[in-house]
Amino acid sequence: MDEKLSREHEMVVDAVRHWVKKECPRMEAMAWDESGQIPSEVLKTFKALDLWAMGVDEQYGGTGLDWTGITLVSEALSEMEPTLAGMFVTDMWGAAAILAGMGTEEQKTSLLPQLAEGKISLARVQANTSLVEGIEFREDQDGWVLNGNCKHVNNVKLAQVLVVQAVAESDPDTAAQFLVPVTGKGVTITLLETLGYRNGGPGSVYMENVSLPHNALVGNPGKPGKVSKTAARVQGAWDLLTAAQAVGMAQGAMSYALEHAKGRIQFDQPIGRFPALREKFVDLSAMIRASRLLVRTAAALADAGQNFHTQAAQALLVASSTAEKAGLEVVQILGGYGYTLEYDAQRYFRNAMQLVCSVMEKSSLHKTIGYALGL
């Protein structure tokens, strides 16, 4: 596969890296992590980058769907500030996969222009992971009623709209997606103190008799076990964008460790030249490149309008393991410094563990890939 980026993509990545270097220097990012809050002025300048338009078609105010561009931005952001990457990824997934792929014209006209301009943000409440006790829906004469709770939702503090996957009270094998305002009556959000992604406001969501109009339903209720093309594309999009975050996180951890290994001198040479440490960097560099290529392959297929959910699952399977390994290795490479809060190794480790824990169970990824293999 050709790894060379187009001139347009190079410009986008350069702009994001320039912004991160200026607005998210390491010491600032560490302070935000400690306080659990990203300053509002930083979020404002972030939204002013006009990145959101690449997830929305031109007729709704965007620049046209660009999966490759979205993954490149996600990776670049995750190297230093994965919370912003998570925010961006969730909005792009909601715009490109949920609304564009399943929404009514009314929903697209109402929400896509706002997403393209970065005026609203989304949070994903997923129903098929072990982190969910259960959100159920039923239909009444006025619309829909939702009840239940989700123990962990990323970026919920930054969101205005929840994209909720719920199952039918009368038939647990039937699932549907709903758009729920975070301020809706019956919606209770409790922020959580977590190891990673602290400043993204992870929280639990509790719903008690949340009444929604009929037009809050996105698409039609369906059977998750019967994987439609739309359902596969929705899940594939999430896997792809999460994999891009994992690649960026792994790259950021390795770059930080590499800078330390080149600058710390022992026995008249940088510690990175010792075989044991050099082997760690060699392995990580290969794993990161493999993960990146898997992401680029899946994104290219998505941009070409082809099925990409199997390749996205492969990318996430490899990239999440790479991020986990990089997060652990950066702590070990820095030695005693790696275990202190004064150094940034611990933040990479915590964020990597948070991402791995929030990824859909690997058994589901294995199932997707195995199905493609005829198994």
pLDDT digits (tens, 9 = 90+) for 51-80: 989 999 999 999 888 999 999 999 999 999
| 3-state secondary structure at position 88 | helix
Q: Give the separation between CA 209 and CA 180, rounded to whole angstroms.
A: 12
Q: Give the separation between CA 108 and CA 117, rounded to whole angstroms.
A: 14
Average per-residue pLDDT for the chain: 89
Could you tell me the pLDDT band of residue 2, with boundaries at 50, 70 and 90? low
Topology classification of domain 7-117: Butyryl-Coa Dehydrogenase, subunit A; domain 1 (1.10.540)
pLDDT digits (tens, 9 = 90+) for 209-263: 999 999 999 977 755 444 456 777 888 999 999 999 999 999 999 999 999 999 9
Could you tell me the pLDDT band of residue 110, with boundaries at 50, 70 and 90? very high
Please state which architecture CATH assigns to domain 122-216: Beta Barrel (2.40)
Residues contacting 29, CB < 8 A, separation 6+: 80, 81, 344, 347
Residue among 153, 143, 151 at smallest CA distance from 122? 153
Check if CATH label 3.40.50.300 holds for domain 227-373: no
State pTM to two decimals.
0.90
pLDDT digits (tens, 9 = 90+) for 123-156: 888 754 444 468 999 999 999 999 998 888 878 8
Is 227-373 in the same CATH topology as 122-216?
Answer: no
| Domain ranges across the chain | 7-117, 122-216, 227-373
Q: How many residues does this entry show for the chain?
A: 375
Cβ neighbour number for residue 113 with a 10 Å cutoff: 15
The least confident of 13-17, 299-303, 347-351, 354-358 is: 354-358
Answer whether residue 353 shows pLDDT above 80.
yes
Residue among 177, 180, 165, 89 at smallest CA distance from 126? 165
